[in-house]
Amino acid sequence: MKRLGFSDDECSVYFKLLSSPQAIPIDKLLLESGISTAQAEQAIRTLAERGAVKTVSNALEPVDPNPMLSRVLDEKRSQAEQMLMSYEETASVLSRQLVPKYSESKLGIKPEDIVEPLISLEEMELQTVKIISNAQQEIKIFAETFGWYEKVREELFKAHDRGVKISILMQAMDDSAQKRASELESLGIEVRHCAEEWCPVRGTLVDETELVFLIWATKKKGTPRPAFYRPHYTRNPGLTRVFSDAYRIWWQECKVKSSP
Protein backbone atom coordinates (compact mmCIF):
# COMPACT_ATOMS: atom_id res chain seq x y z
CA MET A 1 0.00 0.00 0.00
CA LYS A 2 2.91 2.32 0.67
CA ARG A 3 4.02 1.95 -2.95
CA LEU A 4 0.59 3.24 -3.95
CA GLY A 5 1.01 6.32 -1.78
CA PHE A 6 -0.54 5.31 1.54
CA SER A 7 1.27 6.60 4.64
CA ASP A 8 2.39 4.50 7.62
CA ASP A 9 -0.50 5.86 9.71
CA GLU A 10 -3.05 5.11 6.98
CA CYS A 11 -1.72 1.56 6.57
CA SER A 12 -1.80 1.02 10.35
CA VAL A 13 -5.43 2.17 10.67
CA TYR A 14 -6.54 0.30 7.56
CA PHE A 15 -5.02 -3.05 8.58
CA LYS A 16 -6.49 -2.72 12.07
CA LEU A 17 -9.93 -2.30 10.53
CA LEU A 18 -9.26 -5.10 8.06
CA SER A 19 -8.35 -7.52 10.84
CA SER A 20 -11.58 -6.87 12.74
CA PRO A 21 -14.65 -8.96 11.79
CA GLN A 22 -16.88 -6.06 12.80
CA ALA A 23 -16.87 -2.30 12.37
CA ILE A 24 -14.81 -0.53 15.04
CA PRO A 25 -16.30 2.51 16.79
CA ILE A 26 -14.38 5.63 15.85
CA ASP A 27 -13.69 6.61 19.48
CA LYS A 28 -12.27 3.16 20.20
CA LEU A 29 -10.19 3.22 17.03
CA LEU A 30 -8.69 6.58 17.98
CA LEU A 31 -7.68 5.20 21.38
CA GLU A 32 -6.31 1.88 20.15
CA SER A 33 -4.65 2.98 16.92
CA GLY A 34 -1.22 3.25 18.52
CA ILE A 35 -0.68 6.75 17.10
CA SER A 36 -1.73 10.20 18.28
CA THR A 37 -5.39 11.21 18.01
CA ALA A 38 -4.54 13.90 15.47
CA GLN A 39 -2.59 11.43 13.32
CA ALA A 40 -5.36 8.86 13.53
CA GLU A 41 -8.03 11.39 12.59
CA GLN A 42 -5.99 12.53 9.59
CA ALA A 43 -5.41 8.92 8.51
CA ILE A 44 -9.15 8.16 8.79
CA ARG A 45 -10.05 11.25 6.72
CA THR A 46 -7.59 10.32 3.99
CA LEU A 47 -8.74 6.69 3.91
CA ALA A 48 -12.35 7.83 3.65
CA GLU A 49 -11.50 10.30 0.84
CA ARG A 50 -9.75 7.53 -1.09
CA GLY A 51 -12.73 5.20 -0.64
CA ALA A 52 -10.86 2.67 1.52
CA VAL A 53 -13.21 2.83 4.54
CA LYS A 54 -16.80 3.72 5.26
CA THR A 55 -18.75 4.87 8.31
CA VAL A 56 -21.42 2.60 9.75
CA SER A 57 -23.34 4.00 12.79
CA ASN A 58 -20.37 6.02 14.07
CA ALA A 59 -18.04 3.10 13.45
CA LEU A 60 -15.57 2.36 10.66
CA GLU A 61 -15.06 -0.67 8.48
CA PRO A 62 -13.04 -1.32 5.32
CA VAL A 63 -14.72 -1.58 1.95
CA ASP A 64 -14.09 -4.06 -0.87
CA PRO A 65 -10.42 -3.38 -1.79
CA ASN A 66 -10.84 -3.81 -5.56
CA PRO A 67 -12.89 -0.65 -6.29
CA MET A 68 -10.66 1.30 -3.92
CA LEU A 69 -7.49 0.05 -5.59
CA SER A 70 -8.97 0.79 -9.02
CA ARG A 71 -9.60 4.41 -7.99
CA VAL A 72 -6.08 4.67 -6.60
CA LEU A 73 -4.68 3.37 -9.89
CA ASP A 74 -6.72 5.93 -11.80
CA GLU A 75 -5.30 8.67 -9.56
CA LYS A 76 -1.76 7.42 -10.09
CA ARG A 77 -2.29 7.16 -13.83
CA SER A 78 -3.56 10.74 -13.96
CA GLN A 79 -0.62 11.94 -11.85
CA ALA A 80 1.82 10.06 -14.08
CA GLU A 81 0.30 11.62 -17.21
CA GLN A 82 0.54 15.09 -15.70
CA MET A 83 4.13 14.42 -14.67
CA LEU A 84 4.95 13.15 -18.16
CA MET A 85 3.44 16.30 -19.68
CA SER A 86 5.57 18.36 -17.33
CA TYR A 87 8.68 16.43 -18.35
CA GLU A 88 7.81 16.85 -22.04
CA GLU A 89 7.37 20.59 -21.58
CA THR A 90 10.68 20.81 -19.74
CA ALA A 91 12.40 18.78 -22.46
CA SER A 92 10.89 21.04 -25.13
CA VAL A 93 12.15 24.17 -23.36
CA LEU A 94 15.59 22.60 -22.96
CA SER A 95 15.63 21.60 -26.63
CA ARG A 96 14.93 25.18 -27.71
CA GLN A 97 17.75 26.36 -25.46
CA LEU A 98 20.33 23.63 -26.05
CA VAL A 99 19.98 22.89 -29.78
CA PRO A 100 21.01 26.42 -30.87
CA LYS A 101 24.04 26.25 -28.55
CA TYR A 102 24.97 22.82 -29.92
CA SER A 103 24.55 24.04 -33.51
CA GLU A 104 26.67 27.10 -32.85
CA SER A 105 29.39 25.09 -31.09
CA LYS A 106 29.55 22.14 -33.49
CA LEU A 107 28.45 23.67 -36.79
CA GLY A 108 29.70 27.20 -36.30
CA ILE A 109 26.40 28.88 -37.11
CA LYS A 110 23.45 30.17 -35.16
CA PRO A 111 20.13 28.79 -36.47
CA GLU A 112 18.40 32.07 -35.70
CA ASP A 113 20.81 33.76 -38.10
CA ILE A 114 19.18 31.72 -40.87
CA VAL A 115 15.51 31.84 -39.91
CA GLU A 116 13.46 33.22 -37.05
CA PRO A 117 10.38 31.10 -36.28
CA LEU A 118 7.03 32.85 -35.98
CA ILE A 119 4.49 31.36 -33.57
CA SER A 120 1.33 31.62 -35.67
CA LEU A 121 -0.28 32.92 -38.85
CA GLU A 122 -1.31 36.02 -36.89
CA GLU A 123 2.31 36.73 -35.98
CA MET A 124 3.26 36.12 -39.60
CA GLU A 125 0.74 38.75 -40.70
CA LEU A 126 2.10 41.24 -38.14
CA GLN A 127 5.68 40.64 -39.30
CA THR A 128 4.58 41.06 -42.91
CA VAL A 129 2.98 44.41 -42.10
CA LYS A 130 6.20 45.44 -40.39
CA ILE A 131 8.52 44.66 -43.29
CA ILE A 132 6.14 46.22 -45.82
CA SER A 133 6.11 49.41 -43.75
CA ASN A 134 9.93 49.49 -44.02
CA ALA A 135 10.05 48.82 -47.78
CA GLN A 136 12.04 51.33 -49.82
CA GLN A 137 12.41 49.81 -53.28
CA GLU A 138 10.39 46.67 -54.03
CA ILE A 139 7.77 44.32 -52.58
CA LYS A 140 7.07 40.86 -53.99
CA ILE A 141 4.09 38.92 -52.65
CA PHE A 142 3.17 35.35 -53.51
CA ALA A 143 -0.29 34.49 -52.12
CA GLU A 144 -3.18 32.22 -53.01
CA THR A 145 -6.42 34.24 -52.88
CA PHE A 146 -4.62 36.94 -50.84
CA GLY A 147 -7.25 36.51 -48.10
CA TRP A 148 -5.08 38.49 -45.69
CA TYR A 149 -5.04 41.50 -48.02
CA GLU A 150 -7.03 43.68 -45.60
CA LYS A 151 -4.34 43.15 -42.96
CA VAL A 152 -1.64 44.71 -45.17
CA ARG A 153 -3.77 46.94 -47.42
CA GLU A 154 -2.98 50.21 -45.67
CA GLU A 155 0.78 49.60 -45.58
CA LEU A 156 0.77 48.50 -49.23
CA PHE A 157 -0.92 51.76 -50.22
CA LYS A 158 1.61 53.75 -48.18
CA ALA A 159 4.47 51.86 -49.83
CA HIS A 160 2.96 52.55 -53.24
CA ASP A 161 2.75 56.25 -52.39
CA ARG A 162 6.46 56.15 -51.46
CA GLY A 163 7.24 54.91 -54.95
CA VAL A 164 7.93 51.32 -53.94
CA LYS A 165 7.52 48.86 -56.84
CA ILE A 166 4.93 46.23 -55.92
CA SER A 167 4.07 42.98 -57.66
CA ILE A 168 1.51 40.43 -56.49
CA LEU A 169 1.44 36.84 -57.65
CA MET A 170 -1.81 35.03 -56.85
CA GLN A 171 -2.75 31.43 -57.38
CA ALA A 172 -6.52 31.16 -57.06
CA MET A 173 -9.05 33.52 -58.55
CA ASP A 174 -12.43 33.39 -56.82
CA ASP A 175 -14.74 36.44 -56.83
CA SER A 176 -13.15 37.94 -53.71
CA ALA A 177 -9.66 37.50 -55.11
CA GLN A 178 -10.74 39.13 -58.38
CA LYS A 179 -11.96 42.18 -56.46
CA ARG A 180 -8.68 42.45 -54.59
CA ALA A 181 -6.72 42.13 -57.81
CA SER A 182 -8.85 44.79 -59.52
CA GLU A 183 -8.34 47.25 -56.66
CA LEU A 184 -4.59 46.72 -56.72
CA GLU A 185 -4.37 47.05 -60.49
CA SER A 186 -6.39 50.27 -60.35
CA LEU A 187 -3.43 51.74 -58.44
CA GLY A 188 -0.97 50.58 -61.03
CA ILE A 189 0.20 47.58 -59.00
CA GLU A 190 0.89 44.62 -61.27
CA VAL A 191 -0.96 41.45 -60.36
CA ARG A 192 -0.61 38.12 -62.08
CA HIS A 193 -2.35 34.79 -61.81
CA CYS A 194 -0.12 31.77 -61.37
CA ALA A 195 -1.53 28.98 -63.54
CA GLU A 196 0.20 26.24 -61.53
CA GLU A 197 -2.42 24.07 -59.80
CA TRP A 198 -0.83 24.17 -56.36
CA CYS A 199 2.36 25.42 -54.79
CA PRO A 200 3.15 24.99 -51.09
CA VAL A 201 5.12 28.23 -50.71
CA ARG A 202 3.67 31.58 -49.66
CA GLY A 203 5.65 34.66 -48.77
CA THR A 204 6.48 38.36 -48.92
CA LEU A 205 9.92 39.59 -49.98
CA VAL A 206 10.91 43.19 -49.33
CA ASP A 207 13.86 44.94 -50.95
CA GLU A 208 15.46 41.52 -51.64
CA THR A 209 16.62 41.54 -48.01
CA GLU A 210 13.66 40.59 -45.78
CA LEU A 211 11.41 37.58 -46.24
CA VAL A 212 8.37 36.28 -44.37
CA PHE A 213 7.34 32.87 -45.65
CA LEU A 214 5.24 29.82 -44.97
CA ILE A 215 5.28 26.32 -46.43
CA TRP A 216 2.08 24.29 -46.48
CA ALA A 217 2.37 20.62 -45.55
CA THR A 218 -0.95 19.65 -47.13
CA LYS A 219 -3.15 21.12 -49.82
CA LYS A 220 -5.81 23.50 -48.56
CA LYS A 221 -8.41 22.56 -51.16
CA GLY A 222 -10.44 19.52 -50.13
CA THR A 223 -8.63 19.20 -46.80
CA PRO A 224 -10.73 19.79 -43.63
CA ARG A 225 -7.77 21.01 -41.59
CA PRO A 226 -4.82 21.80 -43.87
CA ALA A 227 -1.48 21.66 -42.10
CA PHE A 228 1.40 24.07 -42.49
CA TYR A 229 4.91 24.27 -41.19
CA ARG A 230 5.66 27.08 -38.79
CA PRO A 231 6.03 30.47 -40.55
CA HIS A 232 9.46 32.08 -40.51
CA TYR A 233 11.15 35.43 -40.99
CA THR A 234 14.65 35.74 -42.42
CA ARG A 235 17.21 38.23 -43.61
CA ASN A 236 19.55 35.46 -44.74
CA PRO A 237 20.86 36.36 -48.21
CA GLY A 238 20.79 32.76 -49.39
CA LEU A 239 17.13 32.21 -48.54
CA THR A 240 15.99 35.58 -49.87
CA ARG A 241 17.87 34.85 -53.11
CA VAL A 242 16.22 31.44 -53.47
CA PHE A 243 12.74 32.95 -52.99
CA SER A 244 13.51 35.85 -55.32
CA ASP A 245 14.75 33.54 -58.10
CA ALA A 246 11.72 31.26 -57.72
CA TYR A 247 9.39 34.26 -57.75
CA ARG A 248 11.01 35.56 -60.95
CA ILE A 249 10.45 32.20 -62.67
CA TRP A 250 6.83 31.98 -61.47
CA TRP A 251 6.22 35.56 -62.60
CA GLN A 252 7.61 34.94 -66.07
CA GLU A 253 5.47 31.84 -66.47
CA CYS A 254 2.27 33.74 -65.60
CA LYS A 255 0.88 34.87 -68.91
CA VAL A 256 -2.71 35.54 -67.81
CA LYS A 257 -3.64 38.63 -65.87
CA SER A 258 -5.41 37.90 -62.60
CA SER A 259 -8.32 40.24 -63.18
CA PRO A 260 -10.70 40.43 -66.15
High-pLDDT (> 90) share of the chain, %: 30
At the topology level, CATH places domain 115-257 in: Endonuclease; Chain A (3.30.870)
On whether the CB atoms of residues 100 and 117 are closer than 8 A, the answer is no
CA end-to-end distance (rounded Å), the chain: 78
Range scoring the smallest mean pLDDT among 30-44, 79-93, 133-147, 240-254? 30-44
**Element of type H or E holding 191:** strand 190-193
Amino acid at 19: S
Q: How far apart are CA 40 and CA 45, in angstroms?
A: 9
Per residue in 109-157, pLDDT (tens digit) is 666 667 888 988 899 999 999 999 999 999 999 988 888 899 999 999 9
- Residue 107 CB contacts under 8 Å (≥ 6 apart), including other chains: none
Q: Residue 109 has what pLDDT?
A: 67
What string of DSSP letters covers 223-243? -SS--BPPPEEE--HHHHHHH
72 pLDDT band (50/70/90 cuts)?
confident
What residues does each domain of the chain span? 2-63, 68-113, 115-257
Q: How large is the average pLDDT for residues 68-77? A: 86
On whether the CB atoms of residues 185 and 260 are closer than 8 A, the answer is no
Checking if the pLDDT of 69 tops 80, the result is yes
Amino acid at 106: K
Phi, psi of 256, deg, nearest 5: -105, 130
Residue 228 burial by Cβ neighbours in a 10 Å radius (0-12, 13-18, 19+): middle
Checking if the pLDDT of 221 tops 70, the result is no
Q: Residue 259 has what pLDDT?
A: 43
Q: Residue 226 has what pLDDT?
A: 63
Total count of residues recorded for the chain:
260
Q: How large is the average pLDDT for residues 1-30? A: 84
Q: How far apart are CA 164 and CA 62, in angstroms?
A: 82
Return the top range by mean pLDDT from 30-34, 173-177, 229-233: 229-233
**Domain 2-63 class, CATH top level:** mainly alpha
On whether the CB atoms of residues 68 and 50 are closer than 8 A, the answer is yes
High-pLDDT (> 70) share of the chain, %: 90
Q: Among the residues of the chain, which ranges form H helices?
A: 8-18, 26-32, 37-49, 65-107, 111-114, 121-133, 149-161, 175-186, 237-253
